[in-house]
Amino acid sequence: MSKHKKGPEKKKAEPGKLEFKMRWMLFSTMIPMAVLIIVLLAFFWQYTNEYNKLSNNLAVSSEYNANYKNSSNDMSFKAEVDMDIYYVTIGRKGKDDLPVKQVNKAIETVERLKTTTTKEESLHSLKYLTNYLENLKTRMNQLLEIRDYQKRQEFMENNTVILTTLFEKEMQNYIYQEATQLVQVESQLAGNVRLTLMAMCGVLLVTMLLLFNRSFRLTYSITKPISEILHNIKKVGKGEYKNIAPVIADCIEIQELDEGTRKMAGRIEGLLENVRKEQDAQHLTELQLLQAQVNPHFLYNTLDTIVWLVEGGMEQDAVDMITSLSVFFRTSLSKGKDIISLAEEERHTLSYLEIQQSRYRDIMEFEIRIPKELEGVMVPKLTLQPLAENALYHGIKNKRGKGKILIEGFDLGEDMMLRVTDNGQGMTPERLKEVQDAICTGERAGFGLAAVSERIALYYGAGYGLRISSIEGEGTVIEVYLAKQIKEK
């Protein structure tokens, strides 16, 4: 029998990452629009810049037009200059200064106009204007040298008056040239704006159609397999861990999600109990780590204070602070133990407060009253110190004047209660409720109190933990309820 050769199979399109597909969809549709916008902005900027230059030129040059009246003396440039020269010619008393300042200002104006003028005819007019003004200055100086009254009059009529007349006419010619060019620019701009708007509408329409088309296709390629995966997950939720069909998708992320779902369904039944136990252990470990953290800012500030004390010659105070810091870290470590005696916890809190009192001696004082019979009771490490830190930073530091932190212990038979009281700023009713809710739910409210309460509940069970009360402007009271017998994890 002859063997039939199979034809070449068509390769299926390899699945790609969803992120790349979305980026390609956006870039391929938005890049043309971005290019069009950039071109339009450059186009309008060019026309706007030219329009502004022409408008400025017309505004500046209009000050020297025959029809323009100066706001200060209600005279045109020609009339003012001719009048000042005439007064000098006839020797009018108090009018013996030629209008040199006005002419120099006009020369400066013409020079500025040259920097913003582009039309060739207008530049020629500016050149003529400069020549007229320079000649006018020369003729004025020559006028002063003529002593004869009649000759002065003739010289003025045949020279300065003619030059100011030529200047005024040439300025009108310049204004006409610039106004003509401004009309041309406005006409071109209006025509180009219409064409641009039509092109922009066309490109926008095409872009939106492409974007909608690709969005619908991409959305369908995502929602269809995800709906199938969701159906499989619902089956797993009902306890059906077998016979889950694979989902076909062209996105790597969805394929991996489907694969993970099916693997999870194959193992979930036997792992549920182990996961619960592992989560409990992990949760306790996280709380222990949270309680065991040492604030680096506290360490930095303490070391800075020690340096400051040494540099200030207060060696004994520096030694006392170093000793307190040593006790603080020694009790923090506690040879790796998480359960220590109440006496050790008291010593750890005392060293912390002594360090802080060295830094805040002007605003803080403290007192610790723990009965001797309770010092041997074992408690979770870092039970009191976070509460003292909370009282300092959120109570005493925000209070005007000196504040006090009081730490007390009470024997309640099989249980005991530790209380931390401060007469600091206190809390508003809203903030107090927020913190109390956080302690009940285990959410972090910013003070770390929820972590302390939750950790105590894990060690001692329900009914134990923190209770907090506060009055704004008067202070805060935190009570810690513990059993004398702890069940170590």
Q: What is the pLDDT of residues 225-245, one digit of tens each?
A: 777 777 777 777 766 666 677
Task: Identify whether the C-beta of residue 471 lies closer than 8 Å to the C-beta of residue 423.
Answer: no
pLDDT greater than 70 at residue 334: no
Dist. CA 410–CA 478, nearest whole Å? 13
Instruction: Give the CA distances from residue 298 to residues 164, 293, 306, in Å, rounded to whole numbers and listed in that order.
Output: 83, 11, 12
Report the interhelical angle of 77-90 vs 100-116 (nearest 10°). 150
Dist. CA 136–CA 80, nearest whole Å? 14
pLDDT the model gives residue 420: 95
Fill in the DSSP letter of residue 448: S
Q: What is the pLDDT of residues 163-187, one digit of tens each?
A: 888 888 888 888 888 888 878 877 7
When the pLDDT of each residue in the chain is averaged and rounded to a whole number, the result is 78
pLDDT greater than 90 at residue 202: no
Dist. CA 472–CA 476, nearest whole Å? 8
Task: Identify whether the C-beta of residue 448 lies closer than 8 Å to the C-beta of residue 403.
Answer: no
Of 372, 403, 417, 376, nearest to 473 by C-alpha is 403
Residue 3 pLDDT level (bands cut at 50, 70, 90): very low
Task: Identify whether the C-beta of residue 47 lies closer than 8 Å to the C-beta of residue 189.
Answer: yes
The rounded percent of the chain whose pLDDT value lies above 90 is 12
The rounded percent of the chain whose pLDDT value lies above 70 is 77
Global model pTM greater than 0.85: no
pLDDT greater than 50 at residue 66: yes
Of 170, 172, 176, 180, nearest to 67 by C-alpha is 172
Residue 280 has, within 13 A of its CA and on its CB side, a CA count of 9
pLDDT greater than 50 at residue 373: yes
Residue 4 pLDDT level (bands cut at 50, 70, 90): very low
Fill in the DSSP letter of residue 238: T
